[in-house]
Amino acid sequence: MTETAKPIFPAATILILRDGEHGMESLMVRRHHKIDFASGAYVYPGGKVDAGDAAEALTDFIPDSDECDDTHRAARIGAIRETFEESGILLARNKGESDLVSAEQVLSLQKYRDELHKNRMSLLELVRQENLQLATDLLVHFAHWIGPEHAPKRFDTQFYMVEAPVDQLAVHDGHESVDSVWITPQQALKDADEGRCTIIFPTRMNVAKLARHTRTADALETARNSTVVAVLPVVKKVDGEPTLCIPAEADYDLTEVPLSQIRGG
């Protein structure tokens, strides 16, 4: 009997970066312990891309200069929506303006976060009502990970990075995320190694890649000039031990790790 293939859900996440006192920091949120994926783990804001994120009408609410295929357009839109829902940061402009919406305006828009989360309002309705343009053009493609076949739930996730809006504050939503922190990638890895937080394998690999940089501008410039290689981890026997393997051309710090050494899934 042939086993039914598990569905793969499109997802997207954003590494929001800023330069802090101790170097470049990224915003990470802690997943609610009752969430069915990565519960309790520190992750970057993001989540599943919904059908509404691919609505053709949304093309009227993104910059004309942002030329990408349908998959990436929906992923970028979904990443912005999920980031707003989870962290309160909104990567958008008032139509006809070049600057991102101000902290004061974002504060007035916080009422929509719960409406979006509970599907009582679509993102299209929000941008139409508030006459906004989603700043998809600011997102820099950083990574692409596809959940392995053995994963209990599989996601096809696009990772983007962006410089943090200078005056917006991050506030976790209390639903999917219950804590938020600005942290250097080096400190995040140290905290995970010392048991103060959990970081699942794909996130950890991207945290480690980000840790090559100490300045936001350098991280963004490197990403702009790099080719993103899709990573689909596979399990192979290496020296008799089940080992998770990823392609070398994806340019991570390792290409294989024993399953027994992977923490947090």
**Burial zone of 55 (CB within 10 Å; 0-12 exposed, 13-18 middle, 19+ buried):** middle
> What local confidence, expressed as pLDDT, does residue 260 receive?
85
- Across the range 84-90, mean pLDDT stands at 92
Question: Range with the lowest mean pLDDT among 82-91, 176-185, 247-256?
Answer: 176-185
For residue 37, what pLDDT band results from cuts at 50, 70 and 90?
A: very low
pLDDT digits 0-9 by tens, 68-86: 888 899 999 999 999 999 8
Helices of type H across 148-254: 185-193, 201-210, 216-224
> What local confidence, expressed as pLDDT, does residue 227 receive?
96
User: Quick one: what percent of the chain has pLDDT higher than 90?
Assistant: 70
pLDDT digits 0-9 by tens, 196-228: 888 989 999 999 999 999 999 999 999 999 999
Q: Is pLDDT of 173 > 50?
A: no
Q: Is pLDDT of 172 > 70?
A: no
Tokens 């920091």 map to which residue?
Answer: 25
End-to-end CA distance of the chain: 28
For residue 171, what pLDDT band results from cuts at 50, 70 and 90?
A: low
Between strands 177-183 and 154-163, the pairing is unpaired
- Count Cβ atoms below 10 Å from residue 86 Cβ, excluding itself: 29
> What local confidence, expressed as pLDDT, does residue 150 receive?
80
Tokens 């990436």 map to which residue?
Answer: 72
Residues 6+ positions from 189 with CB-CB distance below 8 Å: 199, 204, 207, 208, 211
**Could you say which architecture CATH assigns to the domain 8-229?**
Alpha-Beta Complex (3.90)
> What local confidence, expressed as pLDDT, does residue 131 receive?
97
CA distances from 237 to 181, 242, 245 (A): 38, 5, 10
* Cα–Cα dist 12/83, whole Å: 10
Average pLDDT, the chain: 89
For residue 174, what pLDDT band results from cuts at 50, 70 and 90?
A: very low
pTM over 0.85: yes
